[in-house]
Structure 1
Amino acid sequence: MANLIEEFANQIEELYKLGAKKFSVLSVGAIGCVPIMRALNHNGDCVDQVNQLSRSFYAVISSLLQQFSSQFPGFTYSLGNLYGVTMDTILNFVVEGLKDIRTPCCGDANTTCALGVTLCNNRNEYLFWDMYHPTQVATDRAAKILLFSEAAEFVQPVNISRLAAMP
């Protein structure tokens, strides 16, 4: 992960030197909860060791962006916590109108979505489209949260719409 963070920092710094001042950054989601990872876990639950990597990545990126904010004049950012958004969706899936947060709508946890695989009847009831990716309804929910939420557990220091409105 150190190489990834170092490369990320280099790219952000280079963009800043080229004149970029506003940055919208999204962390990694709860990748330990995608269907293929659940299938690898003997009990079908999220794989916490993998989710720990997501949480660690968010913490390091958050610290790095805070450092850049104090180091580079005019540097502003919005950091979206996709791990937090995904876990909130999983914990509140019934409220969100979802019926299945474990299995994919298209195919199964070990098969990619392709011509001829089983497709669910109502994709709006599923969190995952295939063994890796969220459905459109899950993505729409995440986008609305990242754009408009004031909750620090999802976006900080500001949401994307506030970042866009800054001079």
Structure 2
Amino acid sequence: MASSSSSSSFFFVLLFGGGLFLFSFDAEAARVPALYVFGDSTADVGNNNYLEGSHAKANFPHNGVDFPLSRPTGRFSNGYNGVDFLAIHMGFRRSPPPFLSIGNKISHQTMRGTKGANFASGGSGILDSTGSTITTRKQIQYFATIRSNITMQVSTEKATLLISKSIFLISAGGNDIFAFFTQNKAPNESQVKQFIDTLVSAYTDHLKELYNLGARKFSIIDVPPLGCCPYPRSLNPMGSCLDILNELALRFNSAVSVLLHDLSSKMQGMKYSIGSSYNVVSNIIKNPSALGYKEVKTACCGSGKFNGQSGCMPNATYCSDRHRYLYWDMLHPTHATSKYAGVAIYEGSLSFAAPINLRQLVEDNS
């Protein structure tokens, strides 16, 4: 796809089939050895199901209404999330399984981590102070455990090669921005700069740690226009996007772009692609009808103003034409939006993935 303004016909083609099951993860046709996923609820496929006391869960209806067997899996979506579609483009069945599930749910081969794992946790942040779930730092510690397991199963040389050719996908930062906004509704420039610098410093440490563990191919998903989600809109008396949240997202995204460029020039063999969920969502909001959408403000599932004042709970109502809604719930995209984002980030133009798209990163064998 050259740009996201291409035909929207893929919105209406579901990839669900009767033979798909929750923990199947077929990597035989994959274009990379493994996919390792880190981040928040935008990438979580069920890790939080296993966290006692976590309030950031989605393992109940109406979530998953369009997932195979209409099963709520822990994804904050009516079906697949963005990571699922990116994994599909890489040749996998969908996202690797949640790390916390692998004890007795899937094959021994996957349990060893040689085909990948998803460590993402809804509510988590780049900063340790954000949320009460599995922070990015803890997720990397989990990966270190899997790396040790791989090394024990194969030679150190083979483990190093496998990890260096695998994709490390990170989708994080949104919860950190929300947490900062909660404490600073109208921050001044000094406060914003200090926050962004602190966030980027932590991100730098995480990327360096993954690199030291053998990661070389990084797929970074930037932060979307948070202020345009149904929940922030519900806070605005005018019902428009909350500019401060969008400005914070843009500042962070810009800083991450500079960071990745700098690190790749210093760390031998490091390659990356930044998928712009910010531009993907902005493009949908600007061109809804051309892309098959009829509703870009109100969530499909929820309650209150814009269906953005509570989550998609079992007693909430949900729309029937979900493929025409940008948002599934108060903060998360629909299956259709995730599918569109997957195409744009995997094989789109520089507007949606830079300095190369994910497909180019996957196919780079140098």
Aligned pair 1:163/2:361, yes or no? yes
Q: CA deviation at 1:18?
A: 1.9
What are the residue-to-residue correspondences of 1:72-87 with 2, within 5 Å?
Answer: 72-87=267-282
Deviations 1:128-156 (A, max 9, x none): 1111110000010001100000x222111
Q: CA deviation at 1:67?
A: 0.2
Give the Cα separation in 1 of the matches to 2:198 and 2:354.
24
1:53 aligns with 2:252: no
Structure ID, larger Rg: 2
Instruction: Map Cα deviations across residues 110-142 of structure 1 (whole Å, 9 max, x no partner).
Output: 121111211112111110111111000001000
- More relative contact order, 1 or 2 (CA 8 Å, 6+ apart): 1
Deviation at 1:2, TM superposition (A): 2.5
Gaps of 5+ in 2: 1-195
Alignment pair present for 1:33 and 2:228 = yes
SS in 2 for 1:42: coil
- Relative to its length, the structure with more strand (as a share) is 1
In the superposition, the TM-score normalised over structure 2's length comes to 0.45
Alpha-carbon distance between aligned partners in 2 of 1:137 and 1:97, rounded to the nearest angstrom? 10
> CA RMSD for the aligned pairs?
1.0
1:15 to 210, 217, 224: 210
Q: What letter is aligned with 2:364?
A: M
Looking at structure 1, the residues matched to 364 and 269 of structure 2 have their Cα atoms a distance apart, in angstroms, of 11
Q: Which amino acid aligns with 2:200?
A: I
Q: How many residues align?
A: 166
Partner of 2:101: none
The letter of the residue matching 1:164 is V
Q: Secondary structure at the match of 1:60?
A: helix
Greater share of helix residues, 1 or 2? 1
Matching residue of 1:138: 337
User: Structure 2: which amino acid aligns with 1:27?
Assistant: D
Displacement of 1:43 in angstroms is 1.0
Give the TM-score, by structure 1 length: 0.96
| Percent of pairs with identical residues | 36
Distance in 1 (alpha carbons) for counterparts of 2:350 and 2:341: 14
Gaps of 5+ in 1: none
